[in-house]
Amino acid sequence: MGVKFTDIIETEEIGFKDLEGHSVAIDTYNTLYQFLSGIRQRDGTPLMDQDGNITSHLSGLLYRTSSIVEKGIKPIYVFDGKHSDFKTNTVMKRKEVRNESEKKWKEALDEGNEEEARKFAMRSSKISPYIIESSKKLLDLLGIPYVQSKSEGEAQASYMVQKGDAWSVASQDYDCLLFGASRTVRNLTLSGGLSNLKYMELEKILANLDLTRNQLIDIAILVGTDFNEGIKGIGAKTGLKLIKNDSLENILKNKEVELEVDPDILRNIFLKPEVNTNYEIKWKNVKLDQLTEFMCEEHGFSEARVVSSANKMKKLNSTQKSLEDWF
């Protein structure tokens, strides 16, 4: 879920044209959860092939990626690595929510309540090794590069933006700001192509709030991150007021509370994350024969729709350039 900054961060609306010609590092786990949650049948059952393998993520990845590329945007998918030990509690809580939602989904199905079933089904989405490996295989066949992070995918994507290997991060979470991404785009991978893109520029946000990045991180620590619980009763607006007038350590001392993780450790998670510096970004041509075999023969997708998506990967802005030529 990331840090809850909605109350203090103002986003700008942009269009797909504003991203044309730019490379975007996409937070893959964030995106896959969108696909697994949203691409389902009326009763909440995910799309599946003839062998019972889930294919909702493949559907979303194929059609949204081809749509993004057709708009002249260069996607780079970034996969999470091993999560921090300090994130264990967050991971366990999310697992509990998914398991409880799956239980309620099945109960709603037994009662014949499709609307209720779908609601809980969306919350029960899980990313398995099969989901990850099949996603990477599809990206390989599409010729789309991906980077395997050592730790947090958002940290890796933010690093790539800082290095100039990507123009922006695409993620729904505000954590990328804490990790130092100069630009972040929200809603890029939402379905339909008509979603309102939201843009965040770190320097503008810090200037508007009259904060340093370190202060923004300290507010997040007070509010709560994926790595710590935060202080009860402190939301983003209150945290902003407090940090503008005092240091995090003094605030904790005055309130007579202690964090479960040392503040400097939490700061360094965002300021000095472990990242993969040995990666290669190269866009290639679609492997059409292998793509249709994988998607159509193995997973039951419509060949006409798969070929149509593959053609979008080759035709950018009505030109006949291949991805490899274009990039």
**35 and 60 in contact (C-beta within 8 Å)?**
yes
Residue 223's domain comprises 211-271
Domain containing residue 247: CATH number: 1.10.150.20
In this structure, the answer to whether residues 163 and 231 fall within a common structural domain is no
Classify residue 225: in a domain, yes or no: yes
Residue 196 has what pLDDT? 85
Residue 235 has what pLDDT? 95
Nearest one of 248, 225, 222, 247 to 237, comparing CA atoms: 222
Structural domains in the chain (count): 2
Using CA atoms, how far apart are residues 248 and 205, in angstroms rounded to an integer? Answer: 20
Alpha helix segments (H runs only) across the chain: 28-38, 56-70, 88-110, 114-123, 129-142, 153-162, 175-178, 202-209, 213-223, 236-245, 248-255, 263-271, 288-292, 303-314, 323-326
In this structure, the answer to whether residues 201 and 158 fall within a common structural domain is yes
Rg (CA), the chain: 21
Residue 317 has what pLDDT? 38
Residue 174 has what pLDDT? 93
Asked which of 156, 178, 206 is the last residue of a domain, the reply is 206
In this structure, the answer to whether residues 183 and 215 fall within a common structural domain is no
**154 and 26 in contact (C-beta within 8 Å)?**
no
**161 and 168 in contact (C-beta within 8 Å)?**
yes
- Pairing status of strand 183-186 against strand 197-201: antiparallel
Asked which of 226, 249, 271 is the last residue of a domain, the reply is 271
In this structure, the answer to whether residues 158 and 267 fall within a common structural domain is no
In this structure, the answer to whether residues 222 and 146 fall within a common structural domain is no
Write the DSSP string, 23-55.
EEEEEHHHHHHHHHHHSB-TTSPBPB-TTS-B-
In this structure, the answer to whether residues 237 and 201 fall within a common structural domain is no
pTM score: 0.89
Residue 320 has what pLDDT? 37
In this structure, the answer to whether residues 146 and 260 fall within a common structural domain is no
In this structure, the answer to whether residues 236 and 176 fall within a common structural domain is no
In this structure, the answer to whether residues 187 and 87 fall within a common structural domain is yes
In this structure, the answer to whether residues 160 and 26 fall within a common structural domain is yes
**169 and 157 in contact (C-beta within 8 Å)?**
yes
Which amino acid, residue 266?
A: L
- Return per-residue pLDDT of the chain as tens, 327 residues: 578 999 999 999 999 999 999 999 999 998 998 899 889 888 888 999 999 999 999 999 999 999 999 999 999 999 999 887 777 777 677 778 788 887 887 888 878 888 887 887 777 888 999 999 999 999 999 999 999 999 999 999 999 999 999 999 999 889 999 999 999 999 998 755 556 899 999 999 999 999 999 999 999 999 999 999 889 999 999 999 999 999 999 999 999 998 888 999 999 999 999 999 999 999 999 999 999 999 999 999 999 999 999 999 874 433 334 444 544
Classify residue 291: in a domain, yes or no: no
> Is residue 79 classed exposed, middle or buried when 0-12, 13-18 and 19+ CB atoms within 10 A define those classes?
buried
Structure tokens at 269: 């998670």
In this structure, the answer to whether residues 218 and 183 fall within a common structural domain is no
Specify the 3-state DSSP secondary structure of 87.
helix
